[in-house]
Structure 1
């Protein structure tokens, strides 16, 4: 018994080392979502007519949730410009959509744009109506213009 206890603290052999490396890689792939699949943002949305007419003036990305004052994981409603927390905090943006049918929102965490009605992310660089608000949010968050990809 004492021999087994001491042998577990010895260095692993080459075969054991290889297996540990493989298990570690699989754990990393699972951790980073390799099995979850690719999420491709839509390049078209039928709900863009709901956009606010003044998205040139938006609250800053550090604005807390208007309802609970939570400081992060907040979204900007692109219909009325309210800032509300995500479904991972207190679900105020989701509740806002359910109560008002304001379906378009920009995440201040990663600057993605979500359409609740389409149940999909929208490609802000491909959809012309979203480019300017995405660029303004990026400048407010990072202090410089975003690197747009060629479309």
Structure 2
């Protein structure tokens, strides 16, 4: 039996390591400043603005609207497509997704996302994330 010639190359594996996805540390779709503050941060238990679902909700990091994920009704994806707002954060695991890059973003490595990640993490868990305690 001949060996397969379709072995993955390093470029095929970009973003993957040992079975998990590595988030991007740069995104060209992020504005220099995101209009996000403690007063504009929605309650983490808010339902989707469109269908009312409480499952797998995301917050748009541009306008703070809450929408459900693509495996519920896809309302955050629809919001992104209709408004050109590319970046959202998951309420469940605080991951950040860019709809234009079609990739996760590293909220702690990307300057524009650090304060938003810290704000939402603190709101969710009642304390600052462990990384926020380290000096930069």
- TM-score normalised by L of structure 1: 0.71
Distance 1:112 1:147 in 2: 16
- Residue 44 of structure 1, aligned match among 26, 32, 38: 26
Structure 1 segments (4+ residues) deviating >3 Å: none
Report the 3-state secondary structure (helix = DSSP H, G, I; strand = E; otherwise coil) of the residue aligned with 1:48.
coil
Gaps of 5+ in 2: 1-17
Partner of 2:112: 129
> For residues 101 and 66 of structure 2, what CA distance do their matches in structure 1 show?
20
Asked if the contact 2:58–2:91 (Cα under 8 Å) also holds between the matched residues in 1, the reply is yes
Partner of 1:12: none
Structure 1 residue 101: Cα displacement: 1.2
State the partner residue of 2:85.
Answer: 102
More strand by share: 2
* Residue 141 of structure 1: aligned partner: 124
For the pair shown, the structure with the greater C-alpha radius of gyration is 1
The two structures have a TM-score, normalised by structure 2, of 0.78
Measure how far apart 1:50 and its partner are. Answer: 7.4
Give the gaps of 5 or more residues in structure 1: 1-35
Q: How does 1:1-150 map to 2 (within 5 A)?
A: 37-49=19-31, 52-56=34-38, 57-148=40-131
